[in-house]
Amino acid sequence: MFLYTSDEEDDSVCRDEQEGSVISSLISQLRVGMDLHKVTFPTFVLEPRSMLERITDFMSHPDLIFGAENCDDPQERFIRVLQYYLAGWHIKPKGVKKPYNPVLGEFFRCRYDYPDGTKGFYIAEQVSHHPPISAFYYISPANKVCILGELRPKSKFLGNSVSTTMEGENRILLMGRPDDGEYVISMPNMYARGILWGKMVLELGDSCTARNERSGLCAELQFKTKGYFSGTYNAISGKVKKNNSDVGEISGKWSSVMDYKTSKERRVLFDVTKEGQKIAPKFVPPEEEQEPNESRRLWSKLTTAITAKDMDAATEAKTAVEETQRELARIRDESGKEHAPRFFAQNKEGRWIPKFTIPNDPAEAEAAVQNWIWSAPPSKPSTP
């Protein structure tokens, strides 16, 4: 999954001579329409963090959803959920970048300490490699918000661009409103333009939906790509409907300002200039305290090399992780054992859910979820 530029003046970048030569070497691997899962991208297009950590961008503005359960109007609760989701897209690296593809068994965990003394917790794990699936879970017991879901990216080469279809969903629960059930949100597609020639640019495109079946509310959102001769980057529009009748309209740019308009009012959903820097900080233990397959420790050498702009060292570090994974896969194949995810399991519908049941009491829940996420790794059986 690629990430995006935000401001329009930064929406395209020129590759330097070294990057151009590396891109050219990929041409022999590529065929129009082919799946890119097995194609190795050069390290200069990598953002120095894992996809498992990138998902936390959607938990960056918790004030937009905290307290939503106190709204008596179901439509207002629905809009608050939409705000949370739409506010996550503006966070970006400069230029055309993609986070690391997580390896099987990799996980990322962190804690949020909010100004009012409440806490939030996040865990994500790569539960499948073929096909790639990232499962994630966020919860703030005191603020009565739970977010879980899974991402299943599929990328294709289209000539001078790459498209990434993000299958999977975000499922949001307002625990203070259990009768609401789940708010389910899908993902737009992503397009990396200018892969082989011209200026490189990344865009969100096509549609996604947000729905709450119990209230009958649904939003159909269109992420618009820039036309060849006209149009603008990062535009978004959409209709909010209740039982198939229009009740409101969303417009603007996900990189700057998004508005929501009804027959009675027009209000700002999110303003990147005013609110974009107010990102909730994450607490992540130092690398020396992390387990070997935690994201930041696993990719530490690659991150250091990318930060230092040492492409040779980055390629070497990335190859070392990939070779280790191939060896682990070989050992599993020879032993006939399948990988068992540590934090997630599939339910009877085939969705990945956390191996955790939250206590009803908020204080007990906070301690329980923290103990679960930072539990000791399962002990390996002794060798006879």
Return the domain boundaries, the chain.
12-210+278-288+340-372
Please say whether the beta carbons of 50 and 299 come within 8 A.
Answer: yes
Predicted pLDDT of residue 303: 94
Cα separation, 197 vs 19, in Å, equals 11
Looking at the chain, how many residues does it have?
384
Cα separation, 259 vs 78, in Å, equals 15
**Please, which residues bridge with residue 240 across strands?**
219, 248
Cα separation, 261 vs 285, in Å, equals 43
Separation of first and last alpha carbons in the chain: 43
- pLDDT < 70 positions in the chain: 1-44, 93-96, 227-230, 379-384
Cα of 61 vs its chain's centroid, Å: 14
Cα separation, 102 vs 189, in Å, equals 19
Tens-place pLDDT, residues 297-330: 999 999 999 889 888 898 899 999 999 999 999 9
**DSSP strand pairing (98-100 vs 46-50):** parallel
Cα separation, 250 vs 210, in Å, equals 13
Cα separation, 210 vs 205, in Å, equals 16
Please say whether the beta carbons of 119 and 373 come within 8 A.
Answer: no
State the CB neighbour count (10 A cutoff) for residue 158. Answer: 16
Average pLDDT, the chain: 85
pTM attached to this predicted model? 0.88
Predicted pLDDT of residue 289: 95
Cα separation, 63 vs 326, in Å, equals 42
Distances in Å between the Cα of 176 and the Cα atoms of 71, 145, 191 are 10, 8, 38
Cα separation, 272 vs 90, in Å, equals 7
